């Protein structure tokens, strides 16, 4: 008897055809309430949704035969991932189906800014002929700054190159060799702010990217810069952007995404000259809707057939006996990866991972995957998971070397990771005290004892009296409370590392103030 799939939201016929061609028994039944869905879901092996159907914990619990849920799109906010994982249900999405659509919309917004097309169109509709008023600028020979060079960002880059634009791109997780292949110059955010004529952002919204561009960043930009955001609301501070437009520092802005959708009526960008607003149209093309339907249908078929798939957004189940042994170390591995990525500057080109002690005798591939998930969580956000972390690492040219060693003298088990970037290397090691007490025990070869949780501050400095006091005084003046502090050093008066756990994330301005303290060589904010 063929496996059954329920399609509970409107889906492109091409996607439904993929399911049927695979021999699945497909029912299309849209507009179901939670109670109605609970009543029927027990008959199905697979479920395909878009954004309307709410796949709650109750729905998943009622799906006694349910093996996989496919979301035709990127976001899975309408699916209870924790419940799905608990019940062994694979949740799949289609993250690349709308890549071209979003990249093209970004270019359309950029051209609209450059040539004042919306404003000129409105003037014509109102019977005016304002030809001189709407003189624009060419894209040719202009510098485009791209913050985030993932799926969409790289597609925008190739299209902008066809217009003769020079590309500066910031992506600390992209190998320099890959950037060279794309014909793109890697740059810091600071360099992009100072040199770009157009700036577009293509990152996920995370704690690190929220308000990535605000008043301080606008102040560093060239006069007449133009800003585009077709990624996520919240990456650019729209209050600060509105002020920059009103002051004339920013010549124009094109915005497709908002923190609240639809945005409030008092959105400060409404009505400002030179500002183009669209209602989140990045993925709104007929082709994108077809692509995401086909992509998720193919993934669902592979999952139900027991074949390899790449776009799962939750962790695939491990063998019970292996899970029992590795489970305490999965979270530690992911936090090690996240910290290594945040400590690194420049694109990470390779990672060395060493498992010592009892771990060296186990199948540690899931731990490596968890560590890669941590490294890639900043550029990919929720898109990276335990299933596709290895695939995404390979696609980005990230080389992974895994080795095993005997137990070190002080630890029963130890996970050590060294991240090699274009601007140096950083080493971390972590262990468990007891079964669940995760600790970072080494940072760049210095012995520490740090709980990898919350807001951390890592400071490389020359060991001399007074530095700790100066840092504490500065943080106190900024209203930042220190929860814990660890100092690692090899000798008195030599180089050292200071790791602080603090109650709030620091602003860029506060980080800069700390970096100005004498004998401090480097300061980095880490959130885990």
* 399 bridge partner residues: 350
Choosing from 87, 159, 280, 462, which is the catalytic residue?
280
CA distance 153 to 275: 22
Contact yes or no for 4/24 (Cβ under 8 A): yes
CA angle 174, 203, 327 (to 5 degrees): 75
What is the arrangement of strands in the sheet containing 413-421, beginning at the earlier edge strand?
Answer: 399-405, 348-357, 413-421, 424-433, 437-443, 446-450
Q: Which of 39, 53, 66, 40 is nearest to 10 (CA)?
A: 53
Q: Percent helix, strand, coil in the chain (nearest 5)?
A: 35, 25, 40
Find where tokens 């740090």 sit: 450
> Which residues, other chains included, contact 507 with Cβ-Cβ below 8 Å and sequence gap of 6+?
none
Integer CA distances (angstroms), 359 to 230, 354, 428, 489, in order:
44, 10, 17, 28
CA distance 246 to 501: 39
Three-class SS state of 259: coil
Contact yes or no for 38/17 (Cβ under 8 A): no
Contact yes or no for 386/368 (Cβ under 8 A): no
Q: What are phi and psi of 300, to 5 degrees?
A: -65, -40
Measured in whole angstroms, the distance separating CA 237 from the mean position of its chain's CA atoms is 18
Q: Is 280 a catalytic residue?
A: yes
Q: Is 490 a catalytic residue?
A: no
Q: Is 87 a catalytic residue?
A: no
Q: What are phi and psi of 197, to 5 degrees?
A: -90, -30
Three-class SS state of 265: coil
Provide the 8-state DSSP code for 346. S
Choosing from 35, 261, 409, 491, which is the catalytic residue?
261
Measured in whole angstroms, the distance separating CA 370 from the mean position of its chain's CA atoms is 15
Choosing from 232, 335, 426, 455, which is the catalytic residue?
232
Integer CA distances (angstroms), 403 to 65, 271, 338, in order:
40, 59, 20
Catalytic residues: 232, 261, 280
């Amino acid at each position: 008897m063929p496996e059954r799939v329920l399609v509970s939201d409107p889906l492109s016929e091409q996607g439904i055809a993929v399911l049927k061609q695979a021999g699945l028994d497909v029912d299309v039944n849209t507009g179901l309430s939670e109670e109605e869905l609970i009543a029927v879901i027990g008959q199905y092996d697979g479920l395909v949704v878009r954004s309307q159907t709410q796949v709650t914990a109750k729905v998943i619990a009622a799906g006694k035969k349910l093996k996989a849920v496919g979301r035709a799109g990127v976001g899975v906010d309408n699916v209870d991932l924790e419940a799905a994982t608990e019940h062994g249900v694979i949740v799949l999405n289609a993250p690349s189906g709308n890549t071209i659509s979003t990249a093209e919309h970004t270019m359309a917004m950029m051209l609209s800014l450059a040539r004042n097309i919306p404003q000129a169109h409105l003037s014509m509709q109102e019977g005016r002929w304002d030809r001189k008023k709407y003189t624009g600028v060419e894209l040719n020979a202009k510098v485009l700054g791209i913050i985030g060079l993932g799926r969409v960002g790289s597609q925008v880059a190739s299209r902008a190159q066809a217009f003769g634009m020079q590309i500066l791109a910031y992506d600390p997780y992209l190998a320099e060799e890959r950037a060279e292949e794309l014909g793109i110059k890697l740059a810091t955010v600071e360099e992009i702010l100072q040199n770009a004529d157009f700036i577009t952002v293509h990152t996920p919204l995370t704690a690190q990217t929220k308000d990535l561009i605000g008043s301080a960043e606008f102040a560093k930009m060239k006069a007449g810069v133009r800003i585009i955001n077709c990624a996520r609301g919240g990456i650019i501070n729209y209050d600060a952007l509105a002020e920059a437009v009103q002051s004339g520092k920013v010549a124009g802005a094109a915005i497709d995404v908002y923190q609240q959708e639809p945005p409030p009526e008092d959105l400060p960008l409404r009505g400002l000259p030179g500002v183009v607003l669209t209602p989140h149209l990045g993925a709104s093309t007929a082709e994108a809707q077809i692509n995401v339907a086909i992509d998720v249908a193919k993934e669902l078929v592979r999952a139900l057939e027991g074949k390899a798939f790449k776009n799962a957004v939750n962790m695939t189940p491990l063998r019970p006996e292996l899970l029992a042994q590795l489970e305490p170390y999965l979270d530690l591995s992911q936090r090690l990866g996240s910290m290594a990525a945040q400590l690194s500057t420049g694109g990470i080109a390779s990672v060395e991972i060493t498992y010592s002690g009892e771990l060296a005798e186990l199948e540690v591939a899931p731990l490596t995957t968890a560590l890669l998930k941590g490294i890639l969580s900043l550029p990919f956000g929720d898109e990276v998971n335990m299933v596709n972390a290895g695939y995404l690492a390979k696609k980005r040219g990230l080389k992974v070397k895994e080795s095993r060693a005997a137990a070190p003298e002080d630890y029963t088990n130890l996970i050590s990771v060294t991240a090699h970037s274009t601007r140096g290397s950083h080493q971390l090691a972590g262990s468990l005290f007891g079964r669940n007490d995760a600790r970072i025990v080494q940072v760049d070869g210095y012995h520490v004892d740090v709980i990898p949780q919350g807001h951390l501050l890592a400071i490389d400095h020359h060991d001399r009296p007074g530095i700790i006091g100066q840092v504490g005084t500065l943080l106190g003046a900024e209203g930042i409370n220190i929860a814990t502090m660890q100092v690692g050093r090899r000798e008195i008066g030599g180089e050292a590392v200071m790791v602080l756990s603090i109650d709030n994330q620091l602003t860029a301005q506060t980080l800069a103030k700390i970096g100005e303290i004498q004998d401090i060589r480097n300061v980095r904010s880490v959130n885990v």
